[in-house]
Amino acid sequence: MTRTLFTSEHDDFRALVKEFIAREITPHAEDWEEAGIVDKSVYKAAAEAGVLGFSVPTEYGGMGIDDFRYNAIVAEELARGRSSGVALTLLNDIIAPYLLRLTNEEQRQRWLTQLAAGDMTWAIAMSEPGAGSDLAGIRTSARREGDEWVISGQKTFISNGILSDAVVVVCRTDPEAGHKGFSLIVVEDGTPGFERGRKLKKMGHHAQDTAELFFSDCRVPASNLLGTEGRGFYHLMENLPSERLSIAISAIAGAENIFEQTKTYAKERVAFGQSIGSFQHNRFKIAEMATELDIARVYVDSCIGRVLDGTLTAVDAAKAKWWCTELNKKVIDQCLQLHGGYGYMLEYPVARAYQDVRISTILGGTTEIMKDIIGRDLGF
């Protein structure tokens, strides 16, 4: 379908991103999946290519591009390529907005410049063994002692947890203040009391390092507070709509990619003397997927437009996130079925996509949490 959201400048940027993926990611994808981690040099290369940190102002080494369509293009092309381990959407869509919005000048000079140069990669640590979607259950604590924060606790399921040079840690700084008792504190690599645990083995996204993190009387400078003390929960909520939209964007692009490959397969694969796509049942399934993907694409593009004009709401993003990730799961399952036995072979992209897709309805807020947000907005 024709998309009217992008200009010729965006088309040029998309071509640049595709070329970067073909040059710097695709040749290494198999090795990275085997190793369970990507080569850190890919972030330096991404920065040099203008694919990382483009939203950072020019005075801090970025390109000063305040246009979410560029974020969407990177998310889409990574989803279409074999790029699940490269955390560019994490850095561009989650970390960069925090650093742009919440830092003081000293922190910008210290962190933004290195992010824009690809010299510093990041993670954000929210989930804990006893607190996933329920952020109010976070137990990792930070107490102020003089010019330091002392952090104690444990985090799990942390994307980029092994490679990260710095981690934004969600801490409880006032146990009596409820949602007003959380703060965001940056813990940098090598800080005493900060240890990385296991690189966790997962069903999919094998090249994406996911880790446990441990903090044992971990002392960091008071100047590493990100944003306002006691406003951590609200800082998280402010960025969640665009984060969830990014997940929806990746979901639709990934589903469209596998669907296009499956259309080709269904035309070329012959059974009982005819292409498998010409059987009425299969033709109907393909027609249904094409229709649902087009409808989802229109809604997601409208949400991108709402980011541009500042009207995207948490409810808009929740609708996009749950619908698109569930559709992605459904489409990939049906495409694998159309591939038959070949779909079960990992040499086919649909098999790898089937492994990777299952997390999409969980990360960033489960489908059930998204529906609860929408339901409450409707007055229930």
Q: How many residues appear in the chain?
A: 380
Cβ-in-10-Å burial (0-12, 13-18, 19+) of 79 comes to buried
d(CA 93, CA 74): 10
Backbone angles phi, psi at 258, to 5 degrees: -65, -35
| Cβ pair 220, 166 in contact under 8 A | no
Closest to 240 in 3D by CA, of 179, 138, 313: 313
Contact 168, 186 (CB under 8 A): yes
Active-site residue, from 212, 229, 243, 256: 243
HEC profile for 53-71?
CCCCCHHHCCCCCCCHHHH
- Find, among 288, 293, 243, 295, the residue nearest to 75 by Cα: 243
Q: How far is C-alpha 266 from the geometric centre of its chain's CA atoms?
A: 31
Rounded Cα distance between 313 and 300, Å, is 13
Q: Is 243 annotated as catalytic?
A: yes
Contact 101, 93 (CB under 8 A): no
- Per the listing, tokens 């049906």 go with 334
H helical segments located in 232-378: 232-268, 280-309, 314-339, 349-357, 367-377
Catalytic residues: 243
